[in-house]
Amino acid sequence: QELKQITASQANIDIISRYERREEMQEYLITAKVLGTGLSVILLLVGVMNFVNTMVVNVNTRRYELAVLESIGMTKRQIKRMLFMEGFYYWGVSLSLAVTIGTAIFILLYMIFSKVAYYAVFSYPFIPLVLVSGLVLLICLIVPIWVYKTDVNLPVVERLRLTE
């Protein structure tokens, strides 16, 4: 405020604070957050559908192998544990890629945006990352077991006969 009073008599000096600039851009920021969140949700849903499809195809193509494993003594519980660990592996790989590549892209976009909007402040979205990671972990652990449970309604002999 004091700087504005000092420079009020100078026509060629204009002082705008970060606060004023942020207030001017508030509507733009809200729109950008809504669009970014919407795009993220769409990408998450596409990723989940892709993962479910991959697991369905994976279990269906391995139906014979899983039936053979069960016929030679592997219990359904062990097969479920194996699929559970595969889901955990998929989650670990996807989280690693999201954290490394996603962070690099996030920082790059911030650097580009901060050149246009000098008032921009970098803040890493830890809470959304943890929440989405937890959701994806649940999906990665539940889907393989759910797909297997829907596939093993028949006895082992019938499953071996059907897949030959």
Q: Is the pLDDT of residue 1 over 80?
A: no
CB 145 within 8 A of CB 83: yes
Give the span between the Cα atoms of 164 and 161, in whole angstroms. Answer: 6
Domain boundaries, the chain: 30-163
Give residue-wise pLDDT tens across range 83-127: 999 999 999 999 999 899 989 998 898 888 888 776 677 788 899
Q: Is the pLDDT of residue 144 over 70?
A: yes
Question: pTM higher than 0.75 for the full model?
Answer: no
